[in-house]
Structure formats: structure tokens, C-alpha cells
Amino acid sequence: MILKIHIEHQCLMARVGILPQEYAAPQRLILDCQAEVSPARWPLEALEDSVSYAAVAETMAEVVDERHWPLLEELIEALRQRLAQDFPLLRTLELRLLKPDILEGVASVGISLQWQREET
């Protein structure tokens, strides 16, 4: 059984980027996350048998807030590592980070990452 969780458009104020104005003040960062979960049992009887999307969203906010991230690539890898570590029932993870206010005339710029847990 595979269950998917979705977190769409989690908007956070982040210290991210390499431009001088990006060091001066936090900016909006939008996170999207989709993950496949292997529940411990189905149907679920308790949240502990799966992954809480609220806990994933809170974890992502914590990682974003840890420090200034010069590169989105550094941040997305830190997110991947922390989510994989904290949520062992995650099988796959798709993350997308968007900076909506950085380039004039562009709705947003960003990066995405896809990860799959290696089978042991």
C-alpha cells in the first residue's frame, strides 16, 4: 500500500539567496511537497502508522528557519536529508522551492528535487 501526502504552497519568510538585498531581509519562499508513504498498516488505526503532513510542514519550516541559505540547492538538500531522517516511512519525496518576488516580470523562479529511498 502506498499513500501520498501533499503540501502545496507552504509560504514561509526565508533568508535565502546570494544578492545583497537577499542578505538584508527575509523574502517569501513557497514550498511544495509530495511524498509517498508506506503505512505501517492499512487501514490506518493511528497517525503513528503513517506520516503526518502537519509534522512534515512543521519540519520544513524549521529547516528553512535554521540559517541563511545562499543557494536553494543547499536548502533543498537539507530539507531532503531531514525529512528522510525524521520520517522513515517516506518512500519517495518530491520537493519544489519557489522564489516569487526575485525577478521583475517573472512570476517565480525555483528548483525541484525528486528522491527515492534505497531499498535495503
* pLDDT over 70 percentage in the chain: 99
* pLDDT over 90 percentage in the chain: 80
Q: Tell me, what's the pLDDT at 17?
A: 93
pLDDT tier for residue 37 given thresholds of 50, 70 and 90? very high
Identify residue 2 by its one-letter amino acid code. I
Report which of 35, 27, 54, 37 is spatially closest to residue 110, judged by C-alpha positions. Answer: 27
Over 70: is that where the pLDDT of 29 sits? yes
pLDDT tier for residue 113 given thresholds of 50, 70 and 90? very high
Burial class (CB in 10 A: 0-12, 13-18, 19+), 33: buried
For the chain, list the domains and their CATH numbers. Answer: 3-116 (3.30.1130.10)
Which of the two residues, 102 and 34, has the higher pLDDT score?
A: 34
pLDDT digits (tens, 9 = 90+) for 69-101: 999 999 999 999 999 999 999 999 999 999 998
